[in-house]
Amino acid sequence: MDCIVNEVYRYVKKMIKGERLIHSIGVAIYADYLCERFGQQGKSCFIAGLAHDVARELEGDEMIAHAARYSGEAEELEKSRPILLHGKAGAFLLRRDLGIMDSDILEAVAWHVTGRPGMSLTEKCVFIADYFAPDREFIEESERLMITNQDIDRLMIFVLERTFDYLKREGKDVAYTALSLYKELKGVQS
């Protein structure tokens, strides 16, 4: 497993630089901590966290094309805001360039941007870790402490609600998958 971690790190380091690389390392460490806290062993969370932004610096057209190769045609919202596709594009790159076939890792990378209903523990841990990463200056220390005493679904709801508030302030639409995930976590029937 350490060989895979090293290979992923070298690849990520070629694809992203500076603060984004530091962010990705922080997400990897945080995701690994969360996975252990919620009872999962192994390095899937660390690898997915490390690689989650591997496609973040690609051009929009490239993101759209790679994401389509991973998961099919993009939704209209994603086409209008290709940055929403960097997770799916990253999953495609990991599969194509590194031969990673572990669906837990690939799906965590693919869905860390918007989330989706039915997320695995790894997916949830990377999603939460990306939001709470040490470099996120908008997070209050009291909010960071939530990680130590909340269950994973409450953390997911917190992240989604904060993200929805931000998108509303910015005048941006919320992805359908994020809304569906939120309803699932809240126990709301569609």
Give the chain's domains with CATH numbers: 2-186 (1.10.3210.10)
Tell me the pLDDT of the chain (190 aa) as tens digits.
568 899 999 999 999 999 999 999 999 999 999 999 998 888 999 999 999 999 999 999 999 999 999 998 888 999 999 999 999 999 999 999 999 999 999 999 999 999 999 999 999 999 999 998 888 877 777 777 777 788 999 999 999 999 999 999 999 999 999 999 999 999 876 5
Nearest CA among 24, 83, 80 for reference residue 57: 83
Angle at which helices 2-15 and 18-37 pack, to 10 degrees?
150
CA distance 53 to 71: 17
CA distance 134 to 119: 23
Nearest CA among 124, 116, 114, 126 for reference residue 163: 114
